[in-house]
Amino acid sequence: MNDYLITLVQQAAGKDVVKLKFLNRLEEGHLTRSENPTSHLCVYFAAYDPAARKVFIGLHKKSGLWLFNGGHMDPGESPMVTVIREAKEEWGITLDPDTVAPPQFATLTEIEHPERQTCEWHYDLWHFIPVDEHVFLPNPTLLTIEFSQFGWKSYEQATTLLVDPASQEALDYCKNLK
């Protein structure tokens, strides 16, 4: 699994310094939250509509930030398995692993609210999921478990709402996807 993750990070877009830190973290092992509550892997699955130039984001209850959907990797999971599990949990949608691209982007997120979370660092792998905003129908009941608001935002609106650096970088990357 570790060699697989190293290959994914090497192939992903992102800043070289981030990828180097990510690769060093992979070498340390204990990559899940249950193994290391302060520093672990997370996977984002960012829904975007390239024709409408919009992204689906939400105001995350625990962090107080507008974010893309995502979650922590569990022991024994690959990033793809995490995406499929989390999409089912958060959206109520079963993704076909044959249609989801491998992680395309890597970021690091410093968690600045230790009073709300035990996490200090997230090592993020990003999957970008192209959808038509009119066909994409996530389950609002499931979304309200983690988000107080959510919906489609234009790239310009998202630029204003997404204030954490990792989400901003991912949005900039997403803007160039077709």
Tokens coding 10: 């090497």
* pLDDT at residue 68 is higher than 90: yes
User: Phi, psi at residue 33, to the nearest 5°?
Assistant: -60, -35
| pLDDT confidence band for 132 (50 / 70 / 90) | very high
Question: Per-residue pLDDT for 133 more than 90?
Answer: yes
Q: How far is CA 21 from CA 40, 73, 141, in A?
A: 12, 18, 37
pLDDT at residue 79 greater than cutoff 90: yes
The pLDDT value given to residue 1:
61
Superfamily of chain region 2-175 = Nucleoside Triphosphate Pyrophosphohydrolase (3.90.79.10)
- Contacts of 78-82 with CB under 8 Å at 24 or more apart are 78/1, 78/4, 79/5, 79/8, 79/41, 79/43, 79/103, 79/125, 79/127, 82/43
Tokens, residue 32 = 């899940």
**70: which residues sit within 8 A by CB, 6+ positions away?**
42, 43, 44, 45, 86, 124
| Res 4 pLDDT > 80 | yes
What does DSSP say about strands 54-60 and 39-49: parallel, antiparallel, or unpaired? antiparallel
What DSSP element (H or E) covers 77? Answer: none
Residue 58: pLDDT over 70: yes
Question: Whole-angstrom Cα distance, residue 143 to residue 168?
Answer: 21
- Which of 151, 155, 156 lies closest to 137, judged by CA? 151
